[in-house]
Chain A
Amino acid sequence: MSDATLQHAIAERVPRGARVLDLGCGDGAMLDYLQRERGCSGYGVEIADANVQACIARGVNVIQLNLEEGLAIFEDASFDVVLQIDTLQHLRNAQTMLRETARVGRVGIVAFPNFAHWPNRLSVLKGRMPVTKRLPYQWYDTPNIRVGTHADLAELAERTGLRVLDSFGLQEGRTVRFAPNWRAGTSVYQIAR
């Protein structure tokens, strides 16, 4: 799934006019889209210098922070929606960030590559780590420090004491509600405290 397709699929879940915090916002494309198309406002959080500049260049508010250091700068329930799109797999303290996402936002939307998607399973059955459009890296040079499955996140949410408002898969831009753990390359959870 291309970044843009994922972006639009997630953007549909963000209410118009929402105050949004986008954790690991990259070059700010998502917030830019939400601002222009859905009248949203908010901030991105990003660590990479080039991305920070890209956000500023496109008029997206960005706060340069290391997510591993937490979200202490943001107050409880100060955003309608907190986005964590393809961020979870880069974080050492994924559980803390999940908790923080739900603390800072009334709703958190978490999206990440589902390792249990069937082509990945097939690859592992053949004895090889998958290299796909969704997980395009070789095992030895991937920026993802962890892989997880759609089913895994349900368990982690429960263990973290978070409510799952909705969960589904995304595949080729379509919502997958039947057997998403098998059938979807991307897992999406809407969570709340």
Chain B
Amino acid sequence: MGTSLETPLIATAQSMHFEAPLPLQSGAVLRNYHLSYETYGRLNASKSNAVLVCHALNASHHVAGVYADQPNSEGWWDNMIGPGKALDTDRFFVIGINNLGSCFGSTGPMHTHPDTGRAYGSDFPVVTVEDWVDAQARLLDVLGIHKLAAVMGGSLGGMQALSWTVRYPERVGHALVIASAPNLNAENIAFNEVARRAIVTDPDFHGGHFYDHGVVPKRGLRIARMIGHITYLSDDVMNEKFGRQLRAVAAALKEGRTEDLPGYQFSTQEVEFQIESYLRYQGDKFAEYFDANTYLLITRALDYFDPARQFGGDLSRALAAATCKFLIVSFSTDWRFAPKRSREIVKALLHNQRQVSYAEIDAPHGHDAFLLNDPRYKGVVRSYFDGIAREIQP
């Protein structure tokens, strides 16, 4: 909630190239890749104040701050991270890394496949949360950071944070797992599949090699985004925001008209309700900047994440390797990553007698709440980071 009078945090995107091949969970190997990343704040002398922030489906390494030449370019978690904010960049060295397969800078399906000389397209290897975590760990190696003060993420980012705690337990002091889940349930996979089918069946998709055809499967992307967007909101918020209001009525009211308001158009294809207009707008905006193959890859990474799988579904055994302290946060109206899924994580950690706190924030905004500015939510995160700051040697 910084005032506009404060000097904004200036973000600078960086890129790191990796020659050594990265072995992936699928058995494939990614060679010759690069990762886009940003850092904020200053790494202390003992390199003990680093916090890795993991991003979710449609976000990137641009976590906080603005780019020097672009005034309205706030990072996706700028309300959480920055000078004096809940994750205070005056005290912590914050790192955001764009994941492999993304479309915001790191090596992804739109980049050139070193073997073929053309864009990867659908030949980009399927990457998992574990692969992302491995890639992040390599980047931290280069930065000379052996142990993170904390790893933090919401939604799919929370899954990465959770994965960190079992893949590299000795490298994590604290994990903040927000609005996340130990795996996707069938309903969640179903939503992802509808989105993927919308993209794959778009005639402009060309089996994932649309780059060669100079087209973008925008219709599919739009629908994928519309579906996704519905699941990020709560029923109450959607009703409060849009209700059954007609777009024509809203437009008339905006012009100051209060009489002779328009009625139904009796059309099946025109935008009739405000919610339709909103979803189409969100879909159009998304299709302009997001990559179709990336959408497929990231939703698949979500589907595949299931640390308990190799332990016969026993999450307690899966998390037994974790040694760090945890803050788990969920939101009461989040039905995409419901509180009960967070409680499963808490239960498994309790079973292992791990240090864990759990906050269940009663917020109306559904899954989106983790990106919004609820004071109770921010207060809990701030207090938790205050505690971490007290543990850190300068």
Known: A43-B356, A53-B380, A63-B356. 14 other contacts (CB 8 A): A43-B350, A52-B359, A52-B380, A53-B379, A55-B357, A56-B380, A57-B387, A61-B356, A62-B357, A63-B350, A63-B357, A65-B360, A73-B343, A73-B346
Instruction: Given A49-B362, A56-B387, A61-B355, answer yes or no on A74-B350 (Cβ-Cβ < 8 Å).
Output: yes
* Contact size range, B: 20 to 34
Select one of A61, A64, A78 contacting B360, CB under 8 A: A64
Interchain CA distance A75-B351 in the complex, whole Å: 7
Majority secondary structure of chain B interface residues (helix, strand, loop or mixed):
helix
* Contact size range, A: 10 to 19
25 contacts between A and B (CB under 8 A): A43-B350, A43-B356, A49-B359, A49-B361, A52-B357, A52-B359, A52-B380, A53-B379, A56-B327, A56-B357, A56-B387, A57-B383, A57-B386, A59-B390, A61-B355, A61-B356, A62-B358, A63-B346, A63-B350, A64-B358, A64-B359, A65-B360, A73-B343, A73-B347, A78-B351
The 3 nearest A-B residue pairs measured at CB: A57-B383, A56-B383, A49-B376
Select one of B350, B376, B383, B386 contacting A73, CB under 8 A: B350
How near does chain A come to B232, taking the closest CB pair, in angstroms?
Answer: 23
Q: Report chain A residues within 8 Å CB of B361.
A: 49
Q: Report chain A residues within 8 Å CB of B347.
A: 73
Select one of A49, A53, A63, A78 contacting B358, CB under 8 A: A63
Interchain CA distance A59-B358 in the complex, whole Å: 13
Interchain CA distance A78-B316 in the complex, whole Å: 14
Q: Report chain A residues within 8 Å CB of B383.
A: 53, 56-57
Interchain CA distance A49-B361 in the complex, whole Å: 8
Verify B359–A78 contact, CB threshold 8 A: no
Interchain CA distance A74-B383 in the complex, whole Å: 25
Q: Report chain A residues within 8 Å CB of B18.
A: none
Within 8 A of A (CB), among B336-389: 343, 346-347, 350-351, 353, 355-362, 376, 379-380, 383-384, 386-387
Q: Report chain A residues within 8 Å CB of B360.
A: 64-65
Q: Report chain B residues within 8 Å CB of A56.
A: 327, 357, 359, 380, 383-384, 387
